[in-house]
């Protein structure tokens, strides 16, 4: 087959955002080119060898319900599965799976190379070409100009990335992969203000040097739960994880060497993630704590490397080796890969719409850590949204937006585009105001029909969701008919005891239980959702001359002109826009709509 010279869409970067964006666009019928700096970086997990966790599993389930790939890939690569927060309510229940990193990569690569209309190529993009603020092509380091109609930038942490270990630092991407040293200038040349963020990762330890008998084993759940709603079998727990702790000796070594930490010497300029601090930052900020958790997690079934979650650091090499060996079970630890910090360029996501489209350019989208987020799951969600919206742009269709009341994906894209972020953004359940309705267990019921309408969720996926919905409703109808709800709420009776669930889908039974037990709370939340939706339904026309609306405060005019909100609801969430400004905008919108009606 001859090599194509023009594409509908070029996706720059093949991490978790780029993979989802490219697959979505190709599945929606577009000739798509996925460019990666290195084929070894495709779907790479450079940090945690896991998918999911608090707030993140909701994103993975939503990506799956819409027809994305991440959940299917992790189900095939699971080493251990656990449901977190089971001592709390279902709003915060979150699935987390340890991954075989190489298996996850190979599974995602298989999906990419078996997808029609998708081409994968290794190479470095150095420029995006535009004409009249519209994307026309990309240019590679070797001088090749590739015409295209749209671009998704999903460059992860590779833009001018710099590895830092003590006094040593060099331009490099994660795990020794090359950095993208030229593309930052192209982004800046388009008028985007670049910022420096920072993240880090722990050392990898030779399994032969770990004394697991001195640690507390952390087994997986039985039975396990898959991430994908299309899973035909449950993943198997193939290995355990282990818990140990730092101690006063660990902390003493770190305190004695804080003056050598790049975080405290000023060598690290990038802003780090508050919710994922390095061990030296933890010792400095939480001086009253006499120990901190360390989880030992396998990187693969056949890998000798184990990940030491909780011991991320940028301290010098000899300090790292000393402090790791103070931890119980790691007294003889051999570090295969040192812990390091990594700085990289990213943009201010308030320059984007919730569609992940650049406000000032047609056909240009951004997804993943380039937008200031952290995490594989956040990246995948943004990539899916960007890929779908690039397709809609190419087809001249209406933008695709998930609202805050529809899903965690909506919370993510709205937070980024409306509020921005001053540090690497991490999804948490606390960010979702309607989290009781947006549970990980009902993402299929919320979003599968939408995914099917888009053309990504298959007929089989839709049928499975509809069967679950029917079973759930059948149970609820039978319970109400027999007036069993009071007894079920008092725990005098379980659903299984009623005999009404025989032959019913297990997930449907769980749905019915939740709806019975939390009925009052859910009804109250649904009333709040309707109020929020009313604000979102007040759509704002493009290119409003905010600077000419004199009743708006000057700060509000500036913020609204920059953000170009799509609705009154989004305008209200922009920092610096007050309720009074929203009221002014509401009056302006009514007058605008009245004038439009008169003209018609």
Query: What DSSP string runs through 402-434?
Result: --TTT-HHHHHHHIIIII--SS-B---GGG-TT
The pLDDT tens digits of the residues spanning 253-306 come to 999 999 999 988 989 989 988 878 899 999 998 989 999 999 999 999 999 999
Q: How far apart are CA 333 and CA 325, in angstroms?
A: 6
What is the residue whose two structure tokens read 């006499």? 290
Q: How far apart are CA 155 and CA 16, in angstroms?
A: 10
Q: Does domain 538-599 have CATH number 1.10.150.570?
A: yes
- Tell me which of 3.20.20.70, 3.50.50.60, 3.90.380.10, 3.40.50.1110 is the CATH number of domain 7-199+344-448: 3.50.50.60
Q: How far apart are CA 283 and CA 308, in angstroms?
A: 17
What Rg do the C-alpha atoms of the chain give, in angstroms? 25
Residues of the chain with pLDDT under 70: 1-4, 600
Q: How far apart are CA 108 and CA 110, in angstroms?
A: 5
Beta bridge partners of 201: 340
pLDDT at 1: 31
Q: How far apart are CA 131 and CA 167, in angstroms?
A: 44
Q: Are strands 216-218 and 241-245 parallel, antiparallel or unpaired?
A: antiparallel
pLDDT at 591: 87
Pick from 364, 370, 268: which is nearest to 312 by CA? Answer: 268
Q: How far apart are CA 431 and CA 447, in angstroms?
A: 19
Phi, psi of 57 (to 5 degrees): -65, -30
Q: Which tokens is 567 given?
A: 């609705």
Whole-structure pTM value: 0.94
What is the residue whose two structure tokens read 């103070």? 326
Q: How far does CA 467 lie from the centroid of its chain?
A: 29
């Amino acid at each position: 087959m001859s090599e194509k010279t023009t594409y509908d869409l070029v996706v720059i970067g093949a991490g978790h955002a780029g993979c989802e964006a490219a697959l979505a666009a190709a599945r929606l019928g577009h000739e798509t080119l996925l460019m990666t700096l290195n084929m070894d970086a495709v779907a790479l997990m450079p940090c945690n060898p896991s998918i999911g966790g608090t707030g993140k599993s909701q994103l993975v389930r939503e990506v799956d319900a819409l027809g994305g790939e991440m959940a299917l890939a992790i189900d095939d690569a699971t080493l251990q599965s656990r449901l977190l927060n089971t001592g709390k309510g279902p709003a915060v229940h979150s699935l987390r799976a340890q991954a075989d990193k190489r298996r996850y990569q190979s599974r995602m690569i298989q999906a990419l190379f078996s997808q029609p209309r998708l081409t994968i190529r290794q190479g470095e993009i150095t420029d995006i070409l535009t004409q009249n603020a519209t994307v026309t092509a990309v240019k590679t380091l070797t001088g090749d100009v590739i015409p295209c109609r749209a671009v998704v930038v999903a460059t992860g942490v590779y833009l001018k990335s710099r590895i830092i270990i003590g006094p040593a630092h060099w331009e490099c991407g994660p795990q020794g992969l090359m950095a993208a040293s030229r593309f930052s200038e192209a982004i800046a040349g388009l008028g985007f203000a670049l910022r420096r963020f920072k993240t880090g990762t722990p050392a990898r330890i030779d399994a032969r040097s770990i004394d697991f008998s001195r640690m507390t084993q952390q087994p997986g759940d039985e039975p396990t739960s898959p991430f994908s709603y299309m899973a035909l079998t449950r993943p198997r727990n193939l290995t355990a994880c282990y818990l140990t702790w730092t101690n006063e000796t660990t902390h003493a070594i770190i305190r004695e060497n804080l003056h050598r930490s790049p975080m405290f010497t000023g060598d690290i300029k990038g802003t780090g993630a508050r919710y994922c601090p390095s061990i030296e930052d933890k010792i400095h900020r939480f001086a009253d704590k006499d120990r901190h958790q360390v989880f030992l997690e396998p990187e693969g079934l056949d890998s000798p490397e184990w990940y030491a979650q909780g011991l991320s650091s940028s301290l010098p090499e000899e300090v790292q080796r000393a402090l790791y060996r103070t931890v119980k079970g790691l007294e003889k630890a051999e570090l295969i890969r040192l812990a390091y910090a990594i700085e990289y360029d990213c943009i201010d996501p308030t320059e984007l719409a919730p569609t992940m489209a650049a406000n000032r350019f047609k056909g240009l989208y951004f997804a993943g850590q380039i937008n200031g987020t952290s995490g594989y799951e956040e990246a995948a969600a943004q990539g899916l949204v960007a890929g779908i919206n690039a397709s809609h742009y190419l087809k001249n269709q209406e933008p695709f937006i998930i609202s805050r009341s529809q899903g965690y994906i909506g919370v993510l894209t709205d937070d980024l585009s409306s509020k921005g972020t001053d540090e690497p953004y991490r999804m948490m359940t606390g960010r979702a105001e309607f989290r009781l309705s947006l549970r990980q267990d009902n993402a299929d019921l919320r979003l599968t029909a939408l995914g099917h309408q888009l053309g990504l969720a298959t007929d089989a996926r839709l049928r499975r969701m509809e069967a679950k919905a029917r079973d759930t409703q059948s149970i609820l109808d039978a319970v109400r008919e027999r007036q069993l709800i009071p007894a079920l709420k008092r725990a005098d009776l379980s659903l299984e005891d009623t005999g009404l669930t025989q032959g019913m889908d297990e997930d449907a039974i769980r749905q019915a239980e939740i709806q019975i037990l939390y009925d009052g709370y859910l009804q109250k939340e649904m009333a709040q959702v309707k109020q929020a939706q009313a604000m979102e339904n007040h759509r704002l026309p493009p290119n409003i001359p905010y600077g000419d609306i004199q009743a708006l405060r000057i700060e509000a005019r500036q913020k609204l002109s920059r953000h170009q909100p799509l609705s009154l609801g989004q305008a209200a969430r922009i920092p610096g826009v007050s309720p009074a400004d929203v009221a002014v905008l509401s009056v302006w919108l009514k007058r605008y709509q009245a004038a439009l009606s008169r003209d018609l």
